[in-house]
Amino acid sequence: MPLAGMVYSAVLAQKRGHALQKIISEPGGVVELMIGTTNYRKEGLARALDRIGEVRACYSFVPYIAFRCQASDAAGLVSHINGRGRFYRELKAMLSVEASGTFSIPKIEDAFPKPKKKVKAEDVGSSLWNLVATGAYKARQYSCGENTNVAVIDTGANYLHPEIQPCFNGKKGHNFLNNTDFVIDDNGHGTHVSGIIAGRNCGVAPKTKLAALKVLNKDGEGSESAIISALEWCVKNNMDVANLSLGAPVASSAFEEMCSYAASAGLLIVAAAGNDGKRTITYPAGFGEPVIGVAATDRENNHAVFSNISPTNDISAPGVDILSSYLSDYAVLDGTSMSAPHVAGALSLAVSYAKKADLEDVLERTAQDLTPEKDDWDVFGAGLLRADLFMSALARSRRVAKALNERQSLAELVRKVFW
């Protein structure tokens, strides 16, 4: 494992331990845990846990159970796994107990992002600086995101908004807060993110099909268990890309393993680097290889002052003064929340045009270098997203592959004729 990977893995493990100790030391209240087990003993363990508290989710693809109980019972489970408890026999199937965190819209200076200004539909310009800077308009000569499915794991979306309405067909997504299909955005953040990905005026890939997966409430907060369930939904529903403009300083092994599983199943996962404005790690962007972590730049291609500097920053994209759909009108917002969907949109263009294999590698190789020096704690990652260079590189690869296939076909024809 690279040094940077060792650093953030060690930090994550330490924070998991601290979070769990804090939870079990609290005298009262309800807490949420991630219980590790094995797949073949998962259902039996879930039945046993239901006698103590509430099983929130029994995941299909990773051997974990999301569980809610009293803090005193959580302390008992920890004692049990350490060989000191006297709970049900079935609890021997427990292999680990971790705290399950609360995730939220990345904050800027301890405040949730609020619109810098509201914009009416008639005032939306035909050319937006962020789309020009990333080459999105030029990239559309190859694709506009046709036949690509992108999940927006966020506060929902106002799918009736004219900017993004064409992106939603039939089932609009799923609400993991109340297990319904009602995904209307009551915050605005998810609608803004959706517009950057696929808005007809503001979006990178305007013909992408979107699914709104609501995991955050009107205050922009939600549980880790809901986000993991949303990623499972993405795999089961054949999503191509998932955008997570959310984060927390701590995350469980279950979340990390779910990201790894989903990525291995072909899901391209994009996440915001976070808005603490310092050297720190935010998850899920901090998980490394299975997730594309996105930092923010401004109009001059400078590092946005709020954007986190992290060893898992893979690439940068515009995140200052970003215009997009917002509830009933339009708004300008700042944040790495706005940067991530630029990358999700570019990946949608690519998936529509080429095969998924090695897309992240090409994405990073075609980024515009913004700094001559890099270290383990990276400011820009590979550099600024350039959707135009990304797509032209894929076009060249496709032409080369076609030429090779034609040569092979000709060679095979010659062989059949003469041999």
Residues designated catalytic: 154, 189, 337
Secondary structure letter of residue 317 according to DSSP: E
Would you say how long the chain is, in residues?
419
Given a contact cutoff of 8 angstroms between Cβ atoms, the answer to whether 292 and 268 are in contact is yes
Q: What angle do CA 71, 224, 217 make, to 5 degrees?
A: 100
Which residues fall within 8 angstroms of residue 219, CB to CB, at 6 or more apart? 112, 187
* Measured distance CA(261)–CA(264) in Å, rounded: 5
The beta strand positions in 102-198, using DSSP E, are 102-104, 117-119, 149-154, 173-175
Tokens of 389: 């260079």
Closest CA to 97 of 20, 211, 153, 30: 20
Using CA atoms, how far residue 86 sits from 50, 79, 92, 282, in Å, is 16, 9, 10, 37
Three-class DSSP category at 335: coil
How are strands ordered across the β-sheet holding 322-326?
117-119, 329-333, 322-326
270 membership: H or E segment, kind and range: strand 268-272
